[in-house]
A and B are shown apart, each in its own frame.
Chain A
Amino acid sequence: MLMDIIINGLINGSVYALLAIGFSLVMGVARIVNIAHTAFYMASAYFIYMGFTFAGLSPLLAMFCALPVTVAVGLACYRLFIKPIQEHEAAVLIGTIALAIAIQEAFLMSFGGSFLGVPPLIKGYTWILGVKVTWQHLLALGVALLVLLAVRLFLMRTSVGLAIRSTAQDREVANLMGMNVTRVAMWAVAVSVGLAAIAGAIVVPLVVLDPHMWMHPLIMMLAIVVLGGLGSIEGSFVGAYIIGFTEALVVFLIPLGAFLKDSVALSIMILVLLIRPEGLFGVVFEEER
């Protein structure tokens, strides 16, 4: 039972972490609460489905083709719809909501509301410490760790990463220092959508594909980034595992209340915020007010 909880918690957590990290990045740098983030996650899954079903590609190849397509679509959406109104906070907010709905409806129109399946990269399951785990779930765990490492290296060791970090800290000073803030934001959006696309490729084979699948992960992802502290990548990572473990605990300890796992996870987020209004790893900028 304990092993079950630990392993399921780890797996749930990694799935969420993949999504939350990308969202956190764009939140920190471009100051965009991107509601459409999980819509890109869904888009990537649909592109993989199209590549696999209509173009007859192998799952891996379909995934590699879907990644750049999703990033391109994401950048195009950002340039066309979000960037021109970036100064208006409220407009950005409903801009991204409308964008997510538009993406949802585009897929609903093309594929209907029926449930579809995306093939997993690795089939089958294995036993770990007496718990059955599918390979795909293990892959999600591995990729989540790798992605975190890669994002960290990217942010810490590259000049673009430095630019992203400094923009995240203070947009105006970064601009005054001669940094091309617009380009940095484009980079952040590209990386963020790329992460969403990877998450789509890894996670969607585990679940089902349908045009409304972006809603649930969105809520959990938002809870995670708030819990971890907005814009903090470590925070998102830790938050993802907290929520992941909470869900596993609920299912194993109160099976009759398995449906409550979202509610319990969200309540935990609220509890944390009551004690630390800036989240676990968030920083309060007094001057930002």
Chain B
Amino acid sequence: MSLVTAHLRRAGVIFRNEVLVLPSRIAVLVFILGLLLLPVFTQDSYILRILILTSIFALLAASWDFLSGFTGQMNFGHALFFGVAAYSTALLNLHLGIPPWGSIPLGALGGVLAGLVVGIPCLRLRGAYLALTTLSFPIILMGVVFAIPDISGGELGISGLARLSESRVGDYYISVLLMLVLSFAMWKVTDSKTGIILHAIREDELACRAAGINTTRYKLMAFCVSGFLAGISGGAYAHVMRLAGPSTLEVAMSFQVIIWAVFGGMVSIYGPVAGVFILFPLMELLRFIPQARMLVFALLVLVTLLYMPEGLIPWIRDKIETVCPRCKARNVASRSNCRVCNAVLD
């Protein structure tokens, strides 16, 4: 009994000292609680559908950030992982009758495979070369999809998949939890030793190699992890839409991911998630001006970038929090002394 209370007390202390002291962490907490409790207040199927798709795309954008933001492997063809996994999930579900809990992770292995297929030839490429080469992979695959209509369904795609779950609320919880858990896991990885190595590869690959790190292995790992997570989102998408079609491979899809992620703020994982949670529902709000929807969207992105070239979330974070010059801990902007080492904040 006392053990339980001790643990609870410890958790409470961590909660008070690590979460409640920073506005950004409180915001994340509120966001998570809000998402989890939403169905208690409304079960409107339209709102739930929007949030399901938003969560799926948020995971996709976060997985892009893991590869392109953290590791610096600028990927312009992220739709490839998404599309390959959507198609594999659909085929597994339809022909082998594997239910969603099996077909999504197995389908995501298709995403991993795609990650390797792209990653290996692209190991020697950098910057713009890498970006422009990756862009062409989904287009090549699109050609293949049209070449084998018996398997892929051509322009029609593969339809008639099983539902993700029996109810809309079930779909909602599955996609929201997938997004939250996997994004949190990614965030944890980027915070670990591996994360530091990935970060180092982005900043200076040559120096990294000189330090005795097998950068090839880490780069390929980043491709695979990103491919797997994008694959999970692709598989979930296929089961929610009950269709995997060529639109999952379109260039517009790849571009969309980049816009979401960079708008929200790269190299943070939570930035891209926030980006999707702002931009995707925004498109729905803009339905009152149907013709000008995309134009408003594009202009909004352009103007936001002018003032916040690092993205929206890092900009806000830097406004409300400061980094301690001595111990690098984050503090509320209103504090005059660091909460950890008591150094004077400027």
Q: Which of A's residues lie within 8 Å of B, judged by CB?
A: 27, 33, 35, 81, 84-85, 87-88, 90-91, 93-95, 97-99, 101-102, 104-106, 108-109, 215, 219, 222-223, 225-226, 230, 257, 259-260, 262-264, 266-267, 269-270, 273-274, 277-279, 289
Q: Is the CB of B266 within 8 A of A226?
A: no
Residues from chain B with a CB closer than 8 A to the CB of A267 are 140
- Residues facing A in B248-271 (CB within 8 A) are 251-252, 255, 258-259, 262-263, 266
B37 within 8 A of A: no
Sort A-B residue pairs by CB-CB distance and give the 8 closest, nearest first: A263-B143, A105-B295, A102-B298, A266-B136, A88-B309, A91-B309, A277-B124, A101-B298
Interface pair B132/A109, CB less than 8 Å apart? no
Which residues of chain A come closer than 8 Å to B309, judged between CB atoms? 84-85, 87-88, 91
Is B301 in the interface zone, CB < 8 Å from A?
yes
Taking beta carbons and an 8 Å cutoff, which residues of B are in contact with A?
74, 121, 124-126, 128-129, 131-133, 135-136, 139-140, 142-144, 146-147, 204-206, 251-252, 255, 258-259, 262-263, 266, 291-292, 294-295, 297-299, 301-302, 305-306, 309-311
Q: Which residues of B contact A277 (CB under 8 A)?
A: 124-126, 129
- Closest partner residue, chain A, to B69 (CB atom): A90
When C-beta atoms are compared, the residue in chain A nearest to B303 turns out to be A81
Q: Is the CB of B295 within 8 A of A102?
A: yes
Question: B291 to A273, Cβ gap below 8 A?
Answer: no
**Residues of chain A lying within 8 A (CB to CB) of residue B143:** 259-260, 262-264
**A-chain residues with CB within 8 Å of residue B140 when the two chains form the complex:** 262-263, 266-267, 270
B316 to chain A, nearest CB (A): 16
Cα A33 to Cα B144 in complex, Å, equals: 28
Which A residues touch B204, using CB under 8 A?
289
Docked complex Cα distance between A274 and B136 (Å)? 14
Q: How close is A95's CB to chain B, nearest CB, in angstroms?
A: 5
Contact in complex: B136, A99 (CB < 8 Å): no
- Tell me if A223 and B310 are in contact (CB < 8 A): no
Among A94, A226, A269, point to the contact of B259 (Cβ < 8 A). Answer: A94
Contact with B251, one of A84, A90, A94, A219 (Cβ below 8 angstroms): A219
A88 to B266, CA, bound (A): 11
30 contacts between A and B (CB under 8 A): A27-B128, A84-B309, A85-B306, A87-B309, A91-B305, A94-B258, A94-B262, A98-B298, A98-B305, A101-B255, A105-B295, A108-B291, A222-B132, A222-B135, A222-B136, A226-B132, A226-B133, A230-B128, A230-B129, A260-B143, A262-B139, A262-B140, A262-B143, A263-B142, A266-B136, A266-B139, A269-B133, A277-B129, A289-B204, A289-B205
Q: Which residues of B sit under 8 angstroms from A108, Cβ to Cβ?
A: 291, 294
Residues of A within 8 A of B310 (CB): 88, 91
C-alpha spacing A269/B131, complex, angstroms: 13
B258 near A93 (CB under 8 angstroms)? yes
Cβ contacts under 8 Å, B305 to chain A: 81, 85, 91, 94-95, 98
A105-B298 in contact (CB<8A): yes
State whether B133 touches A90 (Cβ < 8 A).
no
Complex Cα gap A277–B133 (Å): 10
For A266, the chain B residues whose CB sits under 8 A away are: 136, 139-140
Q: What are the residues of chain B within 8 A of A215 when measuring CB–CB?
A: 251-252
Residues of chain A lying within 8 A (CB to CB) of residue B297? 101
The distance in angstroms between the C-alpha atoms of A42 and B287, with both chains bound, is 27
Give chain B residues whose Cβ lies under 8 Å from the Cβ of A88: 309-310
State whether A98 touches B301 (Cβ < 8 A). Answer: yes
Cα distance, A118 to B136, chains bound together (Å):
29
Chain B residue at minimum C-beta to C-beta distance from A81 = B302
Which of A94, A257, A277 is most buried by chain B, counting CB atoms within 10 A of its CB?
A94
Q: Which residues of B contact A104 (CB under 8 A)?
A: 294
Taking the nearest CB of chain B, how far is it from the CB of A257, in angstroms? 7
B residues within 8 A CB of A35?
Answer: 255
Q: A87-B309, A90-B262 are in contact. List 20 more A-B contacts (CB 8 A).
A: A81-B302, A81-B305, A88-B309, A90-B266, A91-B310, A93-B74, A95-B305, A97-B255, A99-B298, A105-B294, A109-B292, A215-B252, A219-B251, A257-B147, A262-B140, A263-B144, A267-B140, A269-B133, A269-B136, A277-B129
Among B129, B147, B262, B306, point to the contact of A279 (Cβ < 8 A): B129
CA gap between A278 and B143 in the complex, in Å = 26
| Contact status of A223 and B136, CB under 8 A, knowing A94-B305, A102-B295 | yes
Closest to A91 in B: B309
A33 to B258, CA, bound (A): 14
- Identify the closest chain B residue to A105 (Cβ): B295
Which residues of the partner chain B approach A226 to less than 8 Å between Cβ atoms?
Answer: 128-129, 132-133
Q: Report the separation of the CA atoms of residues A214 and B287 in the bound assembly, to the nearest whole angstrom.
A: 25
Say yes or no: B302 contacts A99, CB within 8 Å.
yes
Given contacts A105-B294, A105-B295, A219-B139, contact A273 B301 (CB under 8 A): no
CA A84 to CA B302, docked complex, whole Å: 11
Asked if A81 and B306 make an inter-chain contact with CB atoms under 8 angstroms apart, the answer reads yes
Contact present for A273 and B142 (CB under 8 Å): no
Option from A94, A109, A225 in Cβ contact (under 8 Å) with B295: A109
Shortest CB–CB separation between residue B117 and chain A, in angstroms? Answer: 10
A85→B309 CA distance, assembly (Å): 6
Q: Which residue of B lies closest to A225 (CB)?
A: B132
B292 and A105: CB pair below 8 A? yes
A84 to B126, CA, bound (A): 25
Chain A hits for B294, CB < 8 A: 101, 104-105, 108
Residues of the A chain whose Cβ atoms lie less than 8 Å from the Cβ of B136 = 219, 222-223, 266, 269-270
Minimum distance in angstroms from A177 CB to a CB of chain B: 25
Are the CB atoms of A91 and B251 closer together than 8 Å?
no
